[in-house]
Amino acid sequence: MDLNADVLLSVVVALFIARGLRRFLDLPTRLPRINRLLNWIWAPGLALFVVARAVHWKSDQLDELYMLFVLGVVTVILSNLRHYRPARTLLLAVAPFVLYSVLELLLPALSSSILEEYDDTFENSKGFAFIWLFTFLLIARSQKKQLEKERLEREEEEKARQLIAAHNQELERLVAERTATLTQQAEELREALTELKTTQAQLIQAEKMASLGELTAGIAHEIQNPLNFVTNFSDVSAELITELEEEQQRPTRDPELEAELLVDLKQNLLKITHHGQRAASIVRGMLEHSRASTGERQATNLNGLADEYLRLAYHGLRAKDKSFNATLVTNFDPNLGTVEAVSQDVGRVLLNLFTNAFYAVQKRKELNQPGYSPIVTVSTRHLPNGDVEVQVRDNGMGIPRAVVDKIFQPFFTTKPTGEGTGLGLSLSYDIITKGHGGTLTVETTEGSGTTFIITLPA
């Protein structure tokens, strides 16, 4: 083949390589500037051809020199795209072929005998370079297909994501509308709840005031006795002091009489102190009952608490009805000790149970049944599991079986309208079960009596 045909063939091959690189590596997008320069890849070949003709250069290596230039351009392009995996593979593919081309071009200039001596080796190397080139071309093609597949999958995922995002926006809009509706409804419910809590607080306060009224009536009656003792012993002590002063003014004093007067005076003062402390304890109990509970548990003498509130409840009822009388029976466990409890709250519970018991026996007494005698009994004991039990028993009217399951419900009462709020037992149940982790149960027989049973954890 003559020189003209070799150069033209090389130019055609160069154009084919440029076209392949554009399509395979997407050069218009990845390297737009180099892509434009590739349009002129034929120019160096043509320039070599013109120069060779002008100087009458007859070298048959002109086409090889041009192809080496083309391979250099390809290497530069692939180097600029080395971050792209198929481009790196192509760079690896052309490396042996470029090395072979360089040696084939340079060795004849150094020694013509080398090519002739190692002709077979060079032919084998050329074949190996072509095989290597096509093998890695196939690998690069496979990599490109894989990347294209991954790109399509990413596009599908992006479309799906956009679709989901659009769907989520629609859902968010619907949720916002629904939230606005629910917020409005919640606000209305909150206002209704606020009104309900206000009403409930008023009713609870009314129940507490009713309980406080019962307690105050009992205290007024109970505190009268120690105050009478204080007044009487104060008067007697004043007389003893007067008598002692008179004795001291006599010319002949009687030491034995003075000592006797001082002993009597000391005893009276001790009795005044005792009954004053009794009155103070009653007032203190009233204050503890009237003020809000702190919720702090402390060691509480349950026997003393039950005994005190039993008498206060009884005297409170007698303050309203002087004709009422009942037998009070106490069966206290002497080994009960103290119980960790909120004494103000437990006191309210006991006062409520005692008041209900006296109300029940009073109503039965009004029936004038022959031989009936009102009895209210309170007892305490240790249970086998270590818990403490308090029983408040009466022999009153009892509770109808049809309503016994409702007596701890708020606002439910068996009393006539105006005689009860229906919150006493409900509050008592909450104080014992929720406030102290205990239980409050009832056993009743209609027409025979009722027993309320409190258990508190030891």
Q: Does residue 122 sit in helix, strand or coil?
A: helix
The token pair that represents 444 in the structure block: 């009743």
Asked if residues 337 and 373 have their Cβ atoms less than 8 Å apart, the reply is: no
Between CA 188 and CA 283 the distance in angstroms is 46
Average pLDDT over residues 103-131: 64
Count of Cβ atoms closer than 10 Å to residue 419 Cβ: 10
- pLDDT category, 220, cuts 50, 70, 90? low
**Interval 414-450: pLDDT, tens:** 666 555 556 677 788 888 888 888 899 998 888 888 9
- End-of-domain residue from the set 245, 270, 291: 291
pTM exceeds 0.85 for this model: no
327-331 and 375-382 as β-strands: parallel, antiparallel, unpaired?
Answer: parallel
Residues 6 or more apart whose CB falls under 8 angstroms from that of 331 comprise 377, 378, 379, 380
Q: How confident is the model at residue 111 (pLDDT cuts 50, 70, 90)?
A: low
Give the C-alpha distances (Å, rounded to integers) separating 204 from 192, 218, 351, 355, 426. 18, 21, 16, 17, 10
CATH number assigned to the domain comprising residue 435:
3.30.565.10
The yes-or-no verdict on residue 264 having pLDDT over 60 is yes
Average pLDDT, integer, range 274-282: 70
Highest mean pLDDT among 8-22, 203-217, 250-264, 380-394: 380-394
Residues paired with residue 449 on neighbouring β-strands, in sequence order: 445
For 292-320, the pLDDT digits (tens) are: 455 678 888 888 888 888 888 888 777 77
Q: Specify which residues 392 forms β-bridges with.
A: 378, 452
Asked if 269 and 313 sit in the same domain, the reply is: no
Least confident among 86-90, 182-186, 388-392, 410-414: 410-414
- 364, 395 in Cβ contact below 8 A? yes
Residue type, 84: Y
Task: Please indicate, yes or no, whether residues 282 and 312 belong to a single structural domain of this protein.
Answer: no
DSSP 302: H
Q: Does residue 208 belong to any structural domain of this protein?
A: no
Task: Decide if 187 is inside a domain.
Answer: no
Residue 441: which domain range?
297-458
- CA 166 to the chain's CA centroid: 33
Distance, in Å, from the CA atom of 290 to the CA atom of 284, rounded to the nearest integer, reads: 10
Residue 392, pLDDT > 90, answer yes
CA-CA distance, 229 to 235, in Å (whole number)? 10
pLDDT of 152 over the 80 cut: yes
**Phi, psi of 400, rounded to the nearest 5 degrees:** -60, 140
How far, CA to CA in Å, does 126 sit from each of 94, 138, 141, 392? 12, 18, 22, 114
285: amino acid identity, one letter: G
β-bridge mates for residue 440, sequence order: 454
343 in a structural domain: yes
Tell me how far apart the alpha carbons of residues 398 and 405 are, in angstroms, rounded to a whole number: 13
334 shares a domain with 406 = yes
Q: Same structural domain for residues 307 and 394? A: yes
Are residues 10 and 125 located together in one domain of the fold? yes
Contacts of 415 (CB under 8 A, 6+ apart): 359
- pLDDT value at position 455? 92
Half-sphere exposure of 248 (CA within 13 A, CB side): 10
Digit-coded pLDDT (tens) for 17-69: 778 778 887 778 878 887 788 788 777 777 776 766 665 555 556 666 777 77
Residue count of the chain: 458
Residue 138 lies in a domain: yes
In angstroms, the CA 88 to CA 263 distance is 120
Can you read off the two tokens belonging to residue 386? 């270590």
What Å distances lie between residue 14 and 23, 74, 271, CA to CA?
A: 14, 10, 130
Are residues 249 and 311 both part of a single domain? no
pLDDT at 84: 80
Look at residue 140 in the predicted model and tell me its pLDDT: 74
Range with the poorest average pLDDT among 356-360, 388-392, 451-455: 356-360
Q: Is the pLDDT of residue 362 over 50?
A: yes
φ/ψ of 390, rounded to 5, equals -125, 125
Determine, yes or no, domain membership for 395: yes
Distance, in Å, from the CA atom of 120 to the CA atom of 135, rounded to the nearest integer, reads: 22
- Looking at residue 289, its pLDDT comes to 47
CA distance 184 to 174: 15
Residue with tokens 């009004």: 366
SS3 content of the chain, % helix, strand, coil (to 5): 70, 10, 20
Q: List CB contacts of 294: < 8 A, sequence separation 6 or more.
A: 342
What is the chain's mean pLDDT, rounded?
A: 77
State the CB neighbour count (10 A cutoff) for residue 10.
Answer: 22
Q: Which amino acid is at 249?
A: Q
Percent of the chain with pLDDT over 70: 76
Do 97 and 240 sit in the same domain of this protein? no
For the segment 209-224, the average pLDDT, to the nearest whole number, is 58
Whether 355 is covered by a domain: the verdict is yes
* pLDDT at residue 360, as a whole number: 87
Closest by Cα among 19, 46, 13 to 35: 19
Would you say residue 453 has pLDDT above 90?
Answer: yes
Co-location of 349 and 431 in the same domain: yes
Choose one of 164, 180, 214: the last residue of a domain: 164
Q: Is residue 414 part of a domain?
A: yes
pLDDT band at 200 (very low <50, low <70, confident <90, very high): low
Is the domain of 281 the same as that of 307?
no
How many angstroms separate the CA atoms of 114 and 104, rounded? 10
- Name the domain count of the chain: 3
Cross-strand bridge partners of residue 378 = 330, 392
For residue 123, name the pLDDT band (cuts at 50, 70, 90): low
Indicate if 386 and 265 belong to the same structural domain.
Answer: no
Q: Which residue, 411, 407, 379, is CA-closest to 394?
A: 379
Residue with more model confidence, 229 or 387: 387
Cα separation, 122 vs 116, whole angstroms: 9
Query: Which phi and psi (to 5°) does residue 381 adopt?
Result: -165, 160
286 and 248 fall within a common domain: yes
328 assigned to some structural domain: yes
Q: Are residues 284 and 350 part of one domain?
A: no
- End residue of a domain, out of 265, 291, 317: 291
